């Protein structure tokens, strides 16, 4: 394939599907069920295996391992499991991302325009939206969900089945064992809600009127002393609705692990 550049030391299984413009660095190894979209650039010493699909224009740096078996004792290598990576993702040095498991739905899914900094880890059956950032050494256990524009600080650990809401940010060195509300700033061991993510909301061009409504809702939800059910009732009575507020309430009501305090 004339438009593909593969270093002579790379080992590419003949069944691998490579889009036009793909570049593969020295000593990288691809298994038979790998599909790579156009203009993907892959550095040296990368291993891509399993049923893994990578969307176009992604950049993958040295030592990355994608599509490896889940770190789950129940996993026996059987079943239809996969790793689906969207477009325009940047995956930095030595990141590891596992396949899904049959019990968890079979898929680990990454959206578009995400940044995974060096040594970060995404475990089996995680679902990551768009425009998320995982800083160095941040780690997701299995079945974790990151909604769009979520940000994780370095050395942060996320417990299995936890959800991180849209436009939330978690400070470095945090231990997250409960759901992180959308639009929040959290940090700690364990992580706690400290405030609204004002900077993230402004960068996302959320109107000031909406930000003020969310601020009022946060005060009721986290600082009023009301039970969650009574807080929801109070918010619905006192705060004018908007899509962002509706998402916050829906996220909180559907939380299975409970919200960070």
**Hey, which residues are catalytic here?**
124-125, 142
Cα 122 to Cα 192: distance, rounded to the nearest angstrom: 22
- Could you tell me if 56 and 113 are in contact, meaning their C-beta atoms sit under 8 angstroms apart? no
SS3 145: strand
Distances (CA, A) of 23 to 29, 36, 37, 63: 13, 10, 11, 15
**39 Rama class: left (phi>0) / alpha (psi -120 to 50) / beta:** left
- Could you tell me if 100 and 118 are in contact, meaning their C-beta atoms sit under 8 angstroms apart? no
- Could you tell me if 128 and 149 are in contact, meaning their C-beta atoms sit under 8 angstroms apart? no
Residues in the chain, overall count: 261
């Amino acid at each position: 394939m004339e438009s593909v550049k593969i270093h002579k030391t790379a080992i590419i299984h003949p069944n691998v599907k490579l889009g036009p413009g793909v570049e593969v660095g020295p000593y990288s190894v691809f298994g038979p069920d790998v599909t790579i979209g156009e203009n993907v650039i892959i550095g040296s010493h990368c291993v891509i295996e399993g049923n893994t699909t990578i969307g176009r224009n992604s950049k993958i740096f040295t030592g990355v391992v994608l599509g490896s078996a889940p770190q789950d004792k129940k996993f026996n290598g059987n079943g239809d499991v996969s790793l689906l990576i969207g477009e325009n993702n940047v995956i930095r040095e030595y990141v590891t991302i596992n396949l899904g498991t049959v019990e968890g739905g079979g898929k680990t899914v990454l959206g578009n325009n995400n940044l995974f900094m060096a040594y970060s880890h995404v475990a089996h059956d995680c679902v990551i939206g768009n425009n998320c950032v995982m800083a160095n050494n941040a780690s997701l256990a299995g079945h974790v969900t990151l909604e769009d524009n979520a940000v994780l600080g370095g050395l942060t650990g996320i417990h299995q089945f936890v959800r991180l809401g849209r436009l939330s940010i978690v400070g470095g060195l945090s231990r997250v064992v409960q759901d992180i509300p959308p639009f929040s700033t959290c940090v700690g061991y364990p992580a706690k809600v400290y405030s609204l993510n004002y900077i993230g909301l402004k960068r996302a061009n959320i109107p000031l009127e909406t930000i003020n409504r969310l601020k009022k809702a946060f005060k009721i939800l986290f600082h009023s002393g009301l039970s969650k059910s009574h807080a929801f009732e109070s918010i619905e009575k006192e705060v004018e609705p908007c899509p962002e507020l509706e998402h916050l309430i829906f996220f909180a009501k559907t939380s299975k692990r409970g919200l960070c305090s």
